[in-house]
Chain A
Amino acid sequence: MTEDQQHGSFNFAAHRLAQEARQALSFGSRGVKDVTAEFATAAKQLQPGQLVKDDYFTLFEAVGALEIMDPKMDSGCVPEDDSFEAEFDVCRGLEAAEIIWILDELLCLEAAWHDGYPLSQTVFTSLHVDRLLSPDNNAPYNLHYDRRPAGDLSNDEQLVHIVLRAYCLALIKCSQLVLHTVQSQNFYEEEDFVTHLFGRELLPKLSTDECYRLLDDALRFITTLNLPADTSEALKARLAFRRNYLAALIDDTDDWPDLIARMEVIDSTNSLGRPLREAFSDKVQRQLATSTPPRPMLQVSWKDAYARWTKMCAGIIETERLTSFWICQSPHCLQRAMWAFSYLEPQPNTFARAYLQDRLFGSDRITEDVSHFDLLLTDIRDLVLAGDPLADPDSFQVELPSDPRHQCSRHIEAFMDKAFEEYLNVYRMVCQNRCRIRRTFTQAIPIMDALETEAIRTDEELNRLAPREAMPNKSGAKVQLNPLTTWTKFYKVQIMARTIQLGFETEIYLPDELCTMYWLLSVFAHHQCSRIEAIERHLLVRTLSLLDHPQQNSRYAAECMASRDWLRSLHLQWDATRMMALALWRLCGILMAVRIIEAPKRDFAQDQLLYDARMKPYLSVNNEPIPSLQDLDRARQNIKSVEVTCKSIEMDVKEAKAHLAEVKMMSPEQAKYVGTEEQWKREMKQLETTCVAIAVQASQLMRIAGKHGKKGAQEGDSLKETVEASIPPPEKRYHGWWVVPQLKERKM
């Protein structure tokens, strides 16, 4: 297509869109002409299969069209023996037992909505809610519209018009607030949550105060009724729950524990309800704006719903604990807290995850005394610049333009501005669902790599403005610390390692890819270790120079000590990761060499193409690119016989265990797991058990191979007939990030 034509078609498309918009808006303004007969005659002359269609409309789109009058597709299709609307009079009086049942059913449906089902299948199926939300209902939203019912209402009627109505209105208000919180944060539509309102509005004009008033009226009304004590208490508990839930949602209180207590009362009185299924109907979908086929109303058992509500409240209580004062003082404690939150069982629902994001990112501060700026600066300082005037918050206050501290601070600030978004994502992305954490981290890699280039430039400036001592590295060459580069690289590689580990957890690798991925993980871990060693060397010099002048700055000295512990804990953890990854690389490698794990037959696959496809997220990395396929193959040549490999695995595991044993001894303050002590302990245990499992599988391989006289088996030999390997699913692993193949002898 030539450029002119292209322009032409763009212009045409724009023109077409404008025309469509005009037509969509102008309905009714012009007359219509009956064309039934002419159209039918013309259509008959088309060949079978011949289409007359708009060029911009693709058959691919056509697949998504809903077929009218097909009961499975057309939500407006009414079967012949059916009525259009549910035949239930929402104004009619109901007994207290029926009201209790309806309120509990609404809680069930609301829980299902939180869980990711659309409102059309859940809350909106309530005919009472439907009436209140109906487009022709107006404030003050009565069930009987604007008609005042004649005469005095019976008690049963008042239960509906006062109690049930107040509850439904407050429920709609709560849904609106939940929706607002979810939509204000990162989430994935359809995947996590459905925000669609199907053309309805959640009573935006109804104020929270009005809801409170209605609920209070309802509570008062119940006390005037001569109901059995348990029924009366049951109704009150439900209204009080709704009132407090609403208060918690608009931040009038944060008494979530109270909600759990009320839920218990509701649960204990659930059996008082008498089912009234007619009060709900999926026929409401016939009047909802939707481009989806009709879907059945959801059936949620009370037991499930009760568990979900309790878990949700518990999740929110946990968000408050995990963002408490001391945790927020340390970026790394907070990062650990994020992961701990994400790995609560079951994973917190979308609202709880949004709630946590809102707490941290709703303003420019993590807590009252920690701004996002402080958080990032503390992070940089903790990791690479402890006890250094560079990046000292005080240096940012120096106003004298000729002072190098002033000049350096401006450069650091400029760098931080660029780093902010991605840095906060390190926290925010962990609040997403598991698959998305991996994917967004994958997308963060090139961004972090670009940031590293920025960091290199800034470090050059800093070195020029405030030259510092170069230190000999491992090979003796003198190098600068380059703090920002080091910091960025540390995070970049950590994110890269996490994408691999989450890849294991979300089962995206085939058995024959495990070997490669563990090797890559060990390479990343190796880089991290040498990076930490470099930071440690520079930290040592800085500490020593401070010791020369002890009176000078005791804060700096304290920072150095804290950083030393922190770096040691990181070093030990990355070392443990490295050794475990190496052990599993060897185990998977030998299993592939002797054909216990085999790649599926792929006729057109080439190693390089497979490698490129799998490594795609990492190939764009320019600063310190990942190893090539040839490097990988060379490494694999070190995997010799079963016997030699199993011995090496034993050594690796031993080393990993030693690192874990050491890091386990470190205090929450030293290793920065304040507030997540329990999770830390559990994780250490899981990693240790994983180590044992690796050793067990290696000795199992030795035992079986020995039994068949095949200890010397190596590349080219086959133990396929002797040993069989299975890959445990995530829930069967000791730790989701570590896949240890299970070996057993094949029965002859």
Chain B
Amino acid sequence: MATVASQALPGDKGSDEATHYLTSFLNKTLHIHITDGRMFVGQMKCTDSERNIILAMTHEYRQPSQSDVKLAAERHEKAGRNGNVKVDMKKRFVGLVVVPGQYITKMEVEG
């Protein structure tokens, strides 16, 4: 159930295949990493030739800041645990976003 705006030239085989491929991502959960280190996880609703991507129900994930790591390390120590300190990424809901293609560094699909 996806459409392609009609500008696609009929008979352009490469383009048809590409559209077909991209269509398979619709409503799949994507993980999009961008240049500043953040990652966006949401369902793909739309894309175009510049790889701009609209994600719905999106969460933003961010690497923990230095102070977060420090704090976690102190807690870890206080609790008398050994081994590596695990710090969660900072997560927040941001809803409907468009990620411009120029900032994308990596894309992953779930499932």
Chain A residues engaging chain B, CB cutoff 8 angstroms: 12, 16, 19-20, 23-24, 26-27, 30-36, 38-57, 61-62, 64-69, 74-78, 84-85, 145-147, 199, 287-291
Contact = CB atoms under 8 A, between A and B. Distances in A.
A76 B26 contact: no
A68 B97 contact: yes
A294 B99 CA distance: 17
Contact of B22 (A12, A32, A43, A69): A43
Interface string B43-77: 10111111100101101101001010001001100
Contact of B99 (A47, A68, A145, A291): A68
Contacts of B14: 45
B72 to A, nearest CB: 9
A93 B46 CA distance: 51
8 shortest interchain CB distances as A-B pairs: A291-B95, A45-B18, A53-B46, A46-B49, A32-B108, A42-B18, A289-B93, A57-B45
A148 to B, nearest CB: 9
Contacts of A288: 92
A34 B108 contact: yes
A1 to B, nearest CB: 15
A68 B43 contact: no
Contact of B110 (A30, A40, A61, A65): A30
A49 B48 contact: yes
A321 B73 CA distance: 58
A399 B109 CA distance: 73
Given A33-B109, A66-B95, A287-B90, A43 B48 contact: yes
Where chain A touches its partner, the secondary structure class is: loop
A26 B31 CA distance: 13
A43 B47 CA distance: 8
A33 B18 contact: no
B65 A69 contact: no
13 contacts: A23-B28, A24-B57, A26-B110, A31-B111, A32-B31, A35-B109, A36-B104, A36-B108, A38-B21, A40-B51, A43-B22, A50-B48, A57-B54
A480 B15 CA distance: 81
Given A27-B29, A66-B94, A84-B65, A57 B56 contact: yes
Interface in B72-90: 74-75, 78, 90
Nearest to B33: A36
B58 to A, nearest CB: 9
Interface of B: 1-5, 7-9, 14-15, 17-19, 21-23, 25-29, 31, 34-36, 38, 40-41, 43, 45-51, 54, 56-57, 59-60, 62, 65, 67, 71, 74-75, 78, 90, 92-101, 103-111
Contacts of B78: 146-147
- Among A31, A51, A287, residue most surrounded by chain B Cβ atoms (within 10 Å): A51
B49 A55 contact: no
Given A23-B29, A27-B29, A50-B5, 16 more contacts: A16-B1, A20-B27, A24-B57, A26-B110, A33-B108, A46-B18, A47-B9, A51-B4, A51-B47, A66-B98, A68-B40, A69-B103, A74-B97, A75-B94, A145-B75, A147-B74
A77 B34 CA distance: 11
- Among B18, B71, B90, residue most surrounded by chain A Cβ atoms (within 10 Å): B18
A64 B17 CA distance: 30
A52 B2 contact: yes
Contact of B96 (A39, A65, A85): A65
A32 B39 CA distance: 13
A35 B53 CA distance: 14
A199 B90 CA distance: 13
B51 A68 contact: no
B110 A290 contact: no
A26 B57 CA distance: 13
Given A20-B57, A66-B94, A39 B29 contact: no
B71 A68 contact: no
Nearest to B51: A43
B25 A39 contact: yes
Given A34-B107, A289-B94, A54 B27 contact: yes
B49 A48 contact: yes
Contacts of B57: 20, 24
B92 to A, nearest CB: 5
Contacts of B62: 76, 84
A24 B43 CA distance: 8
Contact of B15 (A27, A45, A64): A45
B28 to A, nearest CB: 8
Contacts of B65: 84-85
B23 to A, nearest CB: 6
Given A23-B43, A47-B8, A78 B90 contact: no
Nearest to B16: A45
